[in-house]
Amino acid sequence: MSKVIISCAVTGAMHIPTMSDALPLTPEHIAEESIAAAEAGAAIVHLHARVPETGAPTGDPDIFARFLPVIKQRTDAVINITTGGSPAMTVQDRLSAATRFKPEMCSLNMGSMNFAIFPAARRISEWKQDWERDYVVNSDDFIFRNTFRDIAYILQSLGEAGTKFEHECYDVGHLYNLAHFLDRGLVKPPFFVQMIFGILGGIGADLDNLMFMKQTADRLFGKDSFQWSVLAAGRHQMPFMTQAALMGGHVRVGLEDSLFIEPRKLATSNAQQVEKARRILAEMGHEPATPAEARAMLGLKGGDRTAI
């Protein structure tokens, strides 16, 4: 049985409360969902925060502080804090929780891009929160900023704390950006590449593109210098998770990336998606890596060396 790291991205910033009642909004619900996802087999939990009263994405470290210690006490899962935040945040806002808590892992978005969710607006007639409609509709004019200077700053400021990165690559050019930082010595093997498919503004969710991204990464980095994972948005989540596992990759699921458990059926929880991933992996002769195994594979500093 080979070991596959399951990451679970619990709430994110792409989805809004109106889209699903299962989306965790409060610190208590984020903690509960993360713990259940870890118990279901997720070795890494990837975390964003939201304003409890409105569900709006926030980078406020004081809100992260209301769930991070709970997750740490109740699971051995690797805590991965976003530096991507949401479209409404400055780069500084996006970094404030990661710099305060110095987690074992953070996401690191490997290039600026359009990052759009506005097509979802045509499927929504009633909005639960007054911030939601503009947040969704105005994403047609949003540039997700990740300049080379931003990326270098994040690598240097968080790298000193021993934080390792989930390098989020939404397109093939982002792999070349990562190679640039390898050449500069700001990224060192073993590193962790998260290949992302199906975001409007990034590479499309076609299997040819998964093969292309993996071949490009192998050519740029050398097969043995990195661990790689795949996440795909929405209806593509489970097919791409399955294909990634067939190719020897790790996988990411969670309500941040897809609200569904199967086409046109909303997931009831993050754990439900982790359990489905676990079943699919088992059919292929894989089992979920434990947090300790994930730490060994990724060269992480250990849960006792954070400020959580």
Can you give the binding site for ligand KMH, defined by CB under 6 A? 9, 12, 14, 82-84, 107, 109, 168, 196, 199, 256-257
Q: Which does 116 bind (CB under 5 to 8 A by kind): Zn ion, ligand KMH, none?
A: none
Torsion, Cα of 191, 195, 200, 206 (10° steps)? 160
d(CA 6, CA 29): 20
Residue 19 CB, shortest distance to Zn ion, in Å, is 16
Looking at beta carbons, which residue is closest to Zn ion?
82
| 38 DSSP 8-state letter | H
| Residue 83 binds to Zn ion (criterion: CB under 5 A) | no
Residue 162 CB, shortest distance to ligand KMH, in Å, is 19
Q: Which does 109 bind (CB under 5 to 8 A by kind): ligand KMH, Zn ion, none?
A: ligand KMH
Q: Which does 171 bind (CB under 5 to 8 A by kind): Zn ion, ligand KMH, none?
A: none
Return all residues near 287 (Cβ < 8 A) that are at least 6 apart: 1, 2, 3, 4, 278, 281
Q: Which does 32 bind (CB under 5 to 8 A by kind): Zn ion, ligand KMH, none?
A: none
Residue 80 CB, shortest distance to ligand KMH, in Å, is 9
For residue 120, what are the CA distances in angstroms to 10, 125, 239, 249, 269? 20, 11, 21, 30, 21
Q: Which among 50, 131, 60 has a CA at the least distance from the CA of 92?
A: 60
Query: Nearer to ligand KMH by C-beta: 18 or 86?
Result: 86
Q: Dump the DSSP string for 249-300.
A: -EEEESTTT-SEEETTEE-S-HHHHHHHHHHHHHHTTEEEPPHHHHHHHHT-
Q: Dump the DSSP string for 194-258.
A: EEEE--BTB--S-HHHHHHHHHHHHHHH-GGGEEEEEEE-GGGHHHHHHHHHHTT-EEEESTTT-
Query: Nearer to ligand KMH by C-beta: 132 or 168?
Result: 168
| 100 DSSP 8-state letter | H
d(CA 291, CA 297): 10
Query: Nearer to ligand KMH by C-beta: 229 or 272?
Result: 229
Residue 46 CB, shortest distance to Zn ion, in Å, is 6
d(CA 267, CA 261): 5
Q: Which does 111 bind (CB under 5 to 8 A by kind): Zn ion, ligand KMH, none?
A: none
Segment near Zn ion (CB under 5 A), from 7-15, 61-69, 136-144, 209-217?
A: 7-15
Query: Nearer to ligand KMH by C-beta: 43 or 286?
Result: 43
Residue 52 CB, shortest distance to ligand KMH, in Å, is 19
What are φ and ψ of residue 301, in 5° steps?
-85, -15
∠ CA(186), CA(151), CA(250), 5° rounding?
A: 80
Kindly state the number of chain residues that form the binding site for Zn ion, as judged by CB under 5 A.
2
Residue 29 CB, shortest distance to ligand KMH, in Å, is 18
Q: Which does 243 bind (CB under 5 to 8 A by kind): Zn ion, ligand KMH, none?
A: none
Query: Nearer to ligand KMH by C-beta: 192 or 286?
Result: 192
| Residue 86 binds to Zn ion (criterion: CB under 5 A) | no
Query: Nearer to ligand KMH by C-beta: 14 or 259?
Result: 14
For residue 190, whether the previous peptide bond is cis, meaning omega lies within 30 degrees of 0, is: yes
> What is the identity of the amino acid at 185?
G
Query: Nearer to ligand KMH by C-beta: 186 or 292?
Result: 186
Binding site for Zn ion (CB under 5 A): 12, 82
